[in-house]
Amino acid sequence: KGRCNDTLREQCLCESNFTTLNRKALSYNKVMYPTDGQVTFVSELSSKPAQKLSKYGWYGNVRLQRFHIPEETAIARWLFSVTKGHNFNCGQHNVTIHIRWGAPPVINPIGSAFPNATLWSPCQSLILPVTSHSSTTFNLSNPAPGEWYVAAHLPEDDGRIEQKGFPSCSYFFQPQLSIRRAVDTPILQQGKFLQQTADPDRPARLKLYVPEFASSLFVSVADCSTGEGVDGANCSLVLRLGSASLQHGPVTVNCSGISCSAALSNPPWHTWLRVVVESSQDNRTVSFSIVSNYTVGCKPKSVGLAADDDINKLRGNSSYTNSSAGNSSVVEDAVAFGNRSSLLPPLLASACIWSIPVLYEEVDVLSLRFNPVNGPNVSVTNTHPTMLTYPLHTQATGGTLNLQLTLNTVSTTESQHTHTVFCVLFYFSQTILTCSTCFDELFLSCSLFLGVFLIFKCVCLSCSSECGNTSLVSVVPEVFISACVEDCGTYGECRLLRSYSYLYAACVCKAGRSGWGCTDDSTAQSYRRQLTATLLLTLSNLFFLPAIVVAIKRYYITEASVYLFTMFFSTFYHACDQPGIAVLCIMDYDTLQYCDFLGSVCSIWVTILCMARIRDAFKYTLFMLGALLIAMSMQLDRKGLWNLLGPVLCAILFMVAAWVYQGVRRRHCYPPSWKRWAFYLIPGAICALIGVCLYIFAETEDNYYYTHSLWHILVASCVVFLLPPKEKNREAFGWTRGWSWSWSWSWRPRVCGYTLCQSSKEELYTVT
């Protein structure tokens, strides 16, 4: 019982180890598969919690999920499930799913324009029709390792404002990922042949490492044979180099005969490259030999092992490092420091490129800045190119890369045929996009990729030999990462979003603007409309003035104070809440919003309790208790629908109970006057009902400024109708007869436990 004797100790230890290994395998959801050719595969599963989908209005409505695919993954399979949350008929909706490798998908469902000089790449999109429960799968062979992002959303928002807490159609999206990964892939080494076999069901899988500064890569297949006595000259193979990232696929070569080769220009540095050889012959195993070779076009001059010069350079650039409170580091993998003088140092015979080290600074969240260590100016000649390397890490992929180049010529003698040309190289997975243009200043804003390499060189564009003598060109590269494109401009707000531990940013546009940087003005609101909306939403609150006057005239001073509070804060909240440039904020926006919501609900609360005509002590107790509870609920969730309906229903319950009590006691309907019902209560109730219907059902983004203004007018008007008439025993400032100011300061003697009172005649009155 829990003990091992000497003879069983070894068996017990083996069983204990086996149990531990099984627990680890279950915790990682790995299942071992038999060998597939020369490699062994394991299966890994991952799942994300279900999230509620929203209609697309801006990028914040997108539900973003991140998945990690490890190296040597052969197959990735996503399962996307969408479930409807309610049983009532919501119609059929299409859920759009976007998939992208390396960075969050850049999407444009509404077809808005991107900012000028913006570079972005499309993503893979799927459309899933949903009725009650739907699911679809997406398979990808040989996916690129790293981070994959899945985004989902409902169709474009129709602009209707849905009140929180009101029943509505809801859909929940849950993605799951299953991968099959190789664990013992053979390594293809430089210049060494490796014997492999392949058949239609089991391709040969290999990998090779690409070192830095490799300019080209060659993979060759030789000695192809079927081994079944058939002529080997016709054995067919398919050779693939690289991985699939949806935007870019692997290099594919169809081989025929006994040998073939595939070449890859500018392969990605510091990565393991996947090699897959497939056989296209049915029921035949093909054997072959495979070898890889790479060439290094040029390397910069070595800096050696001494780091003292690096520290001195960094100290000399302290004006850049001390400009912010963030962290900084120098990117300098086998790079050569340039001279501080205007001329570059001479290169060695083995070197053919100048590589300038770059200072990497973390300024803020999703805010990074890169600066050349030698200063902002980078010298460029026509003899050798100059390279700057800007690595982009996973934590920064939620932002925007900004590149601005300024060209200045120094001591240049040019003829009419002389021009200066630059090449900007962006790494997209495993390929390079080359932009060659003549410019004085260029601004690029693009989503992030693996890295950016800036290559500068002076080139003569003329076919003539008379290009003049260009001695030196100075370029000022400004590369930095920001959260949003130009901080979303005047009509936008940059907001930081989070998907679990991953941070990203997006623009929320105002005043009818749209687009990735709020630069699309096709549906923009004019200044006249913005001013009209501001005036309607603010001046409509002046309809509370009649309610305040009526309340004071009838000596409801407490109620009038609440109406004044509501009118003041509602006016300035809507003046601060405007999307355009007609905005006025007298204090913090959140404070104005809280006071506006609190005053609105308290106004309804005190009006209905005043209609109940209950005793003053009980009424003011309910006033204070209700105000405290409303303040608490507004702090918890001020936009919840029940924060409005809850106090209203409770107040109506008190009023109905008081009226029923009065009717039973009097044996007559209360209030007894039919004029009170016909000219005050029914019109007031109709105004309140219409206002509530407008507030809950009719408001949209387009008509908000006049429907919400009608809500202000109707609510203020119903107060005028619903306030009860003045109590006959109530005098100025709400003091009832018998409780005058002089009474509170008078003193009357007590005799035998009784107070001597002044004889007075009280008038009988009827409460109406």
- Residue 680 is classified by DSSP as I
208 & 146 share domain: no
CB atoms within 10 A of CB 743: 11
Domain assignment of residue 514, yes or no: no
529: left (phi over 0), alpha (psi -120 to 50) or beta: alpha
Report the pLDDT value the prediction gives residue 258, as an integer from 0 to 100.
80
Q: Does residue 662 sit in the same domain as residue 548?
A: yes
Gyration radius of the chain's alpha carbons: 38
The total of other beta-carbon atoms located within 10 Å of residue 627's CB is 17
pLDDT at 209: 92
What is the rounded CA–CA span in Å between residue 717 and residue 548? 11
- Report which of 24, 129, 34 is spatially closest to residue 84, judged by C-alpha positions: 129
| Strand-pair category, 118-119 with 441-447 | parallel
Residues 219 and 312 in one domain: no
Q: How far apart are CA 210 and CA 204, in angstroms?
A: 20
3-state secondary structure 374-391: CCCCEEECCCCCEEEEEE
Q: Do 255 and 237 form a contact (C-beta atoms < 8 A)?
A: yes
**Cβ atoms of residues 40 and 183 within 8 Å:** yes
Together in a domain, 204 and 95: no
SS3 113: coil
Strands 354-356 and 386-391 turn out to be: parallel
pTM of the predicted model as reported, rounded to 2 decimal places: 0.77
Number of domains in the chain: 4
**pLDDT per residue over 48-77, tens digit each?**
999 999 999 899 999 999 999 998 899 999
Runs of H (alpha helix) within 218-342: 308-316, 318-321
Is residue 743 in a domain?
A: no
Q: Does some domain include residue 745? A: no
Evaluate whether 205 touches 199 at the Cβ level (below 8 Å). no
| pLDDT at residue 337, as a whole number | 35
Residues 136 and 245 in one domain: no
Instruction: Quote the tokens at residue 274.
Output: 């996947």
Residues 156 and 193: their CA atoms lie apart, in Å, by 56
* pLDDT at res. 762: 44
Residues 562 and 690 in one domain: yes
Ordered DSSP codes for 441-453: EEEEEEE--SEEE
CA contacts within 13 A on the Cβ side of 533: 24
From 482, 515, 546, give the residue that closes a domain.
482
Domain boundary among 273, 296, 319: 296
Does residue 532 sit in the same domain as residue 664? yes
Q: Do 734 and 637 contact (CB within 8 A), yes or no?
A: no
Closest CA to 448 of 210, 212, 147: 147
Out of 266, 296, 326, a domain closes at 296
Pairing of strands 55-56, 146-156: parallel
* Residue 3 belongs to a domain: no
Examine residue 386 and state whether it is found in any structural domain, yes or no.
Answer: yes
Residues 54, 170: Cα–Cα separation, whole Å:
8
User: Block means of pLDDT (10 residues each) for the chain, length 768 residues?
Assistant: 38 36 35 54 93 91 94 93 78 88 90 84 86 87 92 87 76 94 90 88 89 88 74 74 82 84 85 88 83 85 65 54 45 38 46 80 88 84 80 84 73 44 46 36 42 74 51 80 89 91 92 89 88 93 95 93 96 90 90 94 94 91 94 88 86 93 88 88 93 87 90 94 81 46 47 53 41
Token digits for 22? 């099984």
Kindly state whether residues 430 and 577 are assigned to the same domain. Answer: no
How does pLDDT run across 190-248, given as a tens digit for each residue? Answer: 989 999 888 888 889 999 999 888 888 999 998 888 766 555 556 788 899 888 887 77
Q: What's 34's domain CATH number?
A: 2.60.120.380
In a domain? residue 637:
yes
290 and 336 both lie in a single domain: no
Give the span between the Cα atoms of 597 and 695, in whole angstroms. 13
Q: Is residue 552 part of a domain?
A: yes
Q: Do residues 474 and 338 touch, judged by C-beta distance below 8 A?
A: no
In terms of residue numbers, what domain contains 679?
527-733
> Is-contact 461 391, C-beta < 8 A?
no
Given a contact cutoff of 8 angstroms between Cβ atoms, the answer to whether 211 and 294 are in contact is yes
Residues 565, 467 share a domain: no
Query: Is 755 among the domain residues?
Result: no
C-alpha span between 279 and 287 (Å, rounded) = 10
Question: For residue 133, how many other CB atoms are within 10 A of its CB?
Answer: 10
- Same-domain status, 281 and 312: no
Report the pLDDT value the prediction gives residue 64, as an integer from 0 to 100: 95
User: 543 near 713, Cβ under 8 Å?
Assistant: yes
For residues 376 and 456, state if they share a domain: yes
